[in-house]
Amino acid sequence: MAKKKPVPKVSGTADSRFVEQPITQTLERNYMPYAMSVIVSRAIPEIDGFKPSHRKLLYTMYKMGLLTGPRTKSANVVGQTMKLNPHGDAAIYDTMVRLSRGYGALLIPYVDSKGNFGKVYSRDMACAAARYTEVKLDAFCRELFADIDKDPVDMVDNYDGTLKEPVLLPTTFPNLLVNANQGIAVGMASNICSFNLGEVCDTAIANIQDGDHPIASTLIAPDFSQGGLLLYDREELGRIYETGRGSLRLRGRYRYLPKLNLIEVTEIPYTTTAEAIIDKVIALSKSGRLREVADIRDETDLQGLRIAIELKRGVDPDKLMAKLFKLTPLEDSFACNFNILVDGVPRVMGIREILNEWTGFRMTCVRRRMQYDLAQLQAKLHLLEGLKKILLDIDRAIAIIRGTEENDDVVPNLMVGFGIDEAQAEYIAEIRLRALNRELVLKRLQEVDSLRQEIDRIKDTLGSEEKLVGVIVEELRAIRARYPSPRRTEVLYDDRHAYVEEEQVEDYPVTLFYTQEGYLKKITPQSLRMSGEQKLKEGDRIAQVFETVNRAELLVFTSTQQVYKVRLHELEDAKASAMGLYLPGRLGFDEGELAVGIAVTADYEGFVSFYFQNGKAARVPLSAYATKTNRKKLSGAYSDKSPLVAVCQGMEEVVLRASSGRHLIVNPAMVGEKQTRSTQGLQVMALSARHRLEAVAPLAAFRFENPGRYRSRALPAAGALLTEADRGEVQLSIEAPAKVE
């Protein structure tokens, strides 16, 4: 017996009732139909390269005669398209704008436009209203609608059943790869980059002729309508071609005008806008990270994009542009995700798989077109063969017609008199007398032979897959020759001028003062010589002093096993009379997070030592905290088995003080080096269960009468209690600052 479905429980009062049902059932009934509709009928392109909204718009324009006729108002097209796409005029017009030549988003635009359609490279340049602009189909659209009236694709009813529309367009080339397409569905997305038309046609032909053809040999790299430069990465491109996923790096194009000391940016990455670039440059200039730019302006006009960047005196333009490529959207990435609907199922495919699917689709279109032509030719031949029988005895045919009393009996009498069928007899009965002259009769008889030859040729082609493939190849070659398409995006194979930020940093000696409350001062030697007493917050004291350089990096270790990294040149120079920079606020510490110690390095050479409350110590190389990218925070900076007491940099001897009052001098060299940051370290100070390590300070801060008393040849060691003479000295010097060079 079949299981009974659970009956939803109904509860509530007479005025307020609700139905209880499983959340999975609610999602299945209410959410899944919507999700599938977005995926299948809205956001993901199909093998012809179009989403439904694109296809409905272009087909409406085709039926309006806009492929050969004059332009019409955009509002007219929008209104007609609503017969197929009832999603509102604004959505339809936005779709038209993206497909237009004026907007510039596509390598091969489908809509020939007149008027202001905005620009893909501008965020703020809005298009004019639909009542002002005019459109028609671009001549290239002949390749999209080739023989569409010969039944190459299925036709379905529109939403109200009053019109027919194509399920797909019979594109004669792999349109899916030629124009960029982006869509966001529910739970999935699609982002297809554009490729050069000529390269796509060459690759499609080569792949048809050789299934193992190396794709990268003919499909060099993506090509974008915005031009610019593409940074060639053989491995990444190979991954994209193979799997349909990967990332491309795009870069703007510029020229330097030495007389004006000006840089002109004329092409930008496809993924950004001029306003986004200008806003980023202004923000960097205000923050002090970009001091080479005197002014930046958007001088875009009817001639195209132009961003003018004025340089300060003495600035190297190439080095500045390398820096802008690194820090602004002048260099950006395009994330590829070749997610395509095939037979209603979304699939992420590589280039070869896409070409194979398109070839199969195009084979079906060509076969159906030829079958339609064959049926038309056979029907015409059938009529002419009936005419041939009549023409052998035309006088008899005329006599039959003249001798027939009723008009409805003419066709039956001809069928009986000459042994022809109804279609042939109907055709003959409609022939005018003037068409029965000798010249026309001979031409009709000759046409029979040519029709038979054409029918035999079509049958021969339909019976051979090789010849069908040959038809597709010839169409691709014709498109390649008919529409020359030079590359717009230049491929940059060797980036010799990659930006290295450290080379651009102004370098000079600095002294860092770090206080117990977390304040930091970066002071130049000149300012330090002229300054007086250091200004500190009440109750605060200087904990560490470092002499370093402006290009070094500061590492701040916190109580939550995290290390914050900041480049010193990003911090403003200070004076002794200032309070300093509050690091927890500047670095964005988490709530309750405290700074335990800092380290400074310019090359990540050397070591840093961690001392824990349980008496253990760990020595880790600074290289363990080096990163290729400019990461601001690293987690798992040290072991979390015991609270951290102190962080010490270098190989200077330190003094450990336990809660029992014992002191121990430790040389960091006695602590074994560990490569992993999470190491628990070595037990250096022997502690009883009720005692813990309280403080760590450099040996230079103490003036012991007999330092050997507090040293040990082997670790762990318990240390020694202070002598009467040392006790007074320690209380004065234990709080002294540490100076690290």
Beta-carbon contacts of 443 under 8 Å, excluding residues fewer than 6 positions away, are none
Strands 509-515 and 738-740: unpaired
Work out the number of other CB atoms within 10 angstroms of the CB of residue 72: 16
Rounded Cα gap, residues 1 and 11, in angstroms: 30
Angle of helix 438-462 relative to helix 465-482, nearest 10 degrees, comes to 100
Tokens 């994209």 found at: 240
Residue 636's nearest CA partner among 625, 622, 621 is 625
Q: Which two tokens stand for residue 49?
A: 């390269």
In this structure, are residues 699 and 668 in contact, taking their beta carbons and an 8 Å threshold? no
Rounded Cα gap, residues 181 and 110, in angstroms: 13
- Type and span of the H or E element at 181: strand 181-184
Rounded Cα gap, residues 454 and 590, in angstroms: 81
Q: What is the 3-state secondary structure (H, E, C) of 348-376?
A: ECCHHHHHHHHHHHHHHHHHHHHHHHHHH
In this structure, are residues 95 and 113 in contact, taking their beta carbons and an 8 Å threshold? no
Q: Give phi and psi for 90, each to the nearest 5.
A: -65, -45
Angle of helix 351-391 relative to helix 394-403, nearest 10 degrees, comes to 80
Rounded Cα gap, residues 709 and 720, in angstroms: 7
Rounded Cα gap, residues 674 and 182, in angstroms: 49
Q: Which two tokens stand for residue 693?
A: 């390590």
Rounded Cα gap, residues 712 and 719, in angstroms: 8
In this structure, are residues 516 and 536 in contact, taking their beta carbons and an 8 Å threshold? no
Beta-carbon contacts of 211 under 8 Å, excluding residues fewer than 6 positions away, are none
Active-site residue numbers? 132
The alpha helices in 564-723, defined as continuous H runs, are: 583-587
The alpha helices in 574-692, defined as continuous H runs, are: 583-587
| DSSP, res 576 | T
Q: Give phi and psi for 710, each to the nearest 5.
A: -100, 5
